[in-house]
Amino acid sequence: MNILVTGGAGFIGSNFIHYILDRYHDVRIINLDKLTYAGNLANLADVAQKWEGNRYFFVQADIVDQKKVLATLEEYQVDVIVNFAAESHVDRSIDNPYPFVQTNVLGTQNLLECARLVKVKRFIHVSTDEVYGSLSDCGKFCEDTPLAPNSPYAASKASSDLLCRSYYKTYGFPVIITRCSNNYGPYQFPEKLIPLTFLKAINDQPIPVYGNGQNVRDWIFVEDHCYGIELVLQKGEPGKVYNFGGNAEKQNLEVVKTILDFLDKPHSLISFVQDRPGHDFRYAMDFSLAQKELGFSPQVDFKEGISRTITWYQNNLDWIEDVQSGEYLKFMEKWYGKK
């Protein structure tokens, strides 16, 4: 099987490539990535060293580029597409929504059309729980919860989900949508809460926490998310949506304190900053459909997952230094340093 993974140099995409190549010896992965600030081929250095030109191939391209996408699909005789490619940071979408519409909406539409033209057998579109909006203190998102995105990022992902749905309904194209709660684990870019907290803590710097820190997220270890997508590849029904979650609802403040305790750092490093505009209060995922139809359940609890994650960052400080570009530092200062 030949699988095109878009956005494979990013956090979840690179973990998925490791996951699949380690478990399947009859699969070839074609990684198509634009290499934006969050895409890093160092995430796949060991993969390239072991399998480049045999079971792993890299193509630098933008998913909006119809000519390049079509050529890649035809050259590698792609059977399946797993679409991770996306602009994915809420704060950045508030600062400049344009790239989010360009990549997440127009890019997804281009991928769908190119895949339809060459008759790709299965198209997995990786989405997010943020398309559902915000929950109060009770309830969970299920697959038929109405979409109510509250940030430009979430709106762009909801738009791409609806395009995927339309390709199934209109053309009978075999699209499956997955929506997942907050991922964490190795290779996550340091603008996200867990790696940012780690980075600030080890340098004894103030750790920014939005508002009062009581916003709740359900956390899933990235390997469990990869497992869910693997099950969708094997058993997922075209036209359906599958939710994945980690059974680990935590307040943001609780997550930060857990990391500080792991690192034996004082809670006094926590610095409450002005809340994000339109900040969703709570996310929680009902993944009973994935349990029933796919056999999915998260395998890594939060305690184990956070230990594995922080230990990975401690052992890969060179990786963190490599991904901290001038643009990254400038953006972090703008959003977290002056509020």
Concerning whether 129 is annotated as a catalytic residue, the answer is yes
**Residue 218: predicted pLDDT:** 96
Indicate the pairing of strand 216-221 with strand 249-251.
Answer: antiparallel
- Which pLDDT belongs to residue 318? 85
Residue in this structure with the two tokens 């006094």, named with its chain if needed: 268
Residues of the chain with pLDDT under 50: 326, 328-329, 331-332, 335-339
Specify whether 184 is catalytic: no
pLDDT tens digits, one per residue of 195-224: 999 999 999 999 999 999 999 999 999 999
Q: What is the dihedral of CA 114, 118, 124, 130, to 10 degrees?
A: 10
Q: Which of 33, 129, 161, 223 is catalytic?
A: 129
Residue labelled with tokens 């009062």 = 212
Choice among 33, 62, 130, 280 that is catalytic: 130
* pLDDT for the residue 225: 98
Q: What is the DSSP string of 40-68?
A: -GGGGHHHHHHHBTTTEEEEE--TT-HHH
Catalytic residue among 153, 187, 242, 283: 153
Looking at residue 36, what is its pLDDT? Answer: 84
| CATH classification number, 2-187+218-248+277-304, choose in 3.40.50.2300, 3.40.50.720, 3.90.1150.10, 3.40.50.2000 | 3.40.50.720
Whole-model pTM: value is 0.93
Assess whether 130 carries a catalytic annotation.
yes
Helix (H, G, I), strand (E, B) or coil at 280: coil
pLDDT at 92: 87
Residue 275 to residues 94, 114, 212: CA-CA distances in angstroms? 13, 41, 8
Give the list of residues 6+ apart from residue 310 with CB closer than 8 angstroms, or none. Answer: 198, 259, 262, 263
- For residue 89, the model assigns a pLDDT of 80
